[in-house]
Amino acid sequence: MVLIRENNYYSIPHSSYFIPISYLVSKSSQMHDLIAALQMMRKHFVTGTLIPYEYRKQQLIKLKQSVLKYEKEISEALYTDMKKSPEEAYATETGLLLAELNTSTKNLYSWMKPKSVSTNLVNLPSTSKIYRDPLGVVLIIAPWNYPCNFPLYHL
């Protein structure tokens, strides 16, 4: 990848993607903090507290409450950054997210149940099931034009 420096931004040729120089120049203490946070998240995952239904449902409810609590601030930030009206912010960001949280909370138990699938001839007379369990810590990358909906939607 070739980066071209223009004013205080690096850009990729033939694209509209700009990276602030201040973003690329990170202090070692900031990187150390990120690595420490990642290690803390991985340690928390290994404890197994993320697996039970009650914990997952509680986290979805807390996220919904947070979105509702800060809906005005989210709308104001979207107006400041992207000039999205409150109606557009609700239609493209918070409203879709709240609808998805409602659906996820409602269907979580059925999604978590093991799914029975057919067993191949070699393993008969056993049964086969698919278990949907969390596998680890992930990084969610979202586009700039939907800064609230996409990162939180994929949680």
55 domain residue, yes or no: yes
91 domain residue, yes or no: yes
Q: Model pTM? A: 0.71
24 domain residue, yes or no: no
The DSSP secondary-structure symbol of 6 reads E
List of residues 6+ apart from 53 with CB closer than 8 A: 108, 109, 112
Q: Between 23 and 103, name the one with better pLDDT.
A: 103
Host domain of residue 140: 50-115+126-153
Instruction: Report the number of distinct structural domains present in the chain.
Output: 1
Residue 15 has pLDDT above 50, yes or no: no
30 domain residue, yes or no: no
86 domain residue, yes or no: yes
Taking only the tens place, the pLDDT of each residue in 63-120 is 999 999 999 998 998 899 889 999 998 998 899 999 999 999 999 999 999 999 999 9
Nearest to 143 by CA among 101, 82, 88: 82
Only one residue has tokens 């930030």, namely 77
56 domain residue, yes or no: yes
Query: CATH number, domain at 71?
Result: 3.40.605.10
d(CA 133, CA 56): 11
Handedness of CA 21, 25, 29, 31 (dihedral sign): positive
pLDDT of 142 reads 79
For the chain, what percentages of helix, strand and coil (3-state, to nearest 5) are there? 55, 10, 35
pLDDT of 101 reads 93
4 domain residue, yes or no: no
Q: Between 150 and 84, name the one with better pLDDT.
A: 84
Q: Between 48 and 114, name the one with better pLDDT.
A: 114
54 domain residue, yes or no: yes
pLDDT band for position 28 (cuts 50, 70, 90): low
Residue 26 has pLDDT above 60, yes or no: no
Half-sphere CA count of 22, side-chain side, radius 13 A: 1
Only one residue has tokens 């120049």, namely 25
